[in-house]
Amino acid sequence: MNPDQKLAELFIDLPEPALPPTGVVHVARSGKMLIVGEALPISDGRLMAKGRVGLEVRLDVARQAARAATIQALAMLAKECGGTLTNIKHVVQLDAMLAASHDFRDHAKVLDGASELLIQLFGTQGHHTRRAVGVMSLSQDACVSISLMVETK
């Protein structure tokens, strides 16, 4: 089953990607590599969770937000690949910045929802390296920002 079919099976419709301001590249290509610079947790046209994880945003909400941001990143990739994810060969790296309180320590747990989704969609080709970094604030007061690197066929 290809990633597009798995999305349908999971009842996930890729949204029209929420793109950055004009003049900013949302997906960069270098050879067979595609890199999404920043995807925020936008669902139904709205930012899903605002504030810092561990203060204004609970861990479970941040985890859902990371998954939503990953869906945004996938929507950007699909747009770049002619409306499909079937041209993606391998998910290479998932990076996240989390707006977090100074004493928050569960960064990896926030990313689990995003990683699980990528593995559901791409199987063994969805296994990836990942990194989560805590910061004081993010664009639009988002609690999480996702960057994704994939290899295309």
Give the CATH number for residue 79. 3.30.1330.40
Q: At what angle do helices 59-80 and 107-122 cross, to 10 degrees?
A: 40
Residues 6+ apart with CB under 8 A from 39: 17, 18, 69, 70, 72, 73, 76, 145, 146, 147, 148
pLDDT tens digits for range 84-124 = 999 999 999 999 999 999 999 999 999 999 999 999 999 99
What's the whole-model pTM score? 0.94
Q: Which two tokens stand for residue 134?
A: 């805590």
Name the residue range of residue 120's domain. 3-152
Q: Which two tokens stand for residue 152?
A: 């295309």
Q: Kindly state the average pLDDT of the residues 119-146.
A: 96
pLDDT at 42 over 90: yes
Domain count, the chain: 1
pLDDT band at 20 (very low <50, low <70, confident <90, very high): low
> Nearest CA to 147 among 124, 121, 128?
128
Q: What is the dihedral of CA 10, 110, 119, 75, to 10 degrees?
A: 60
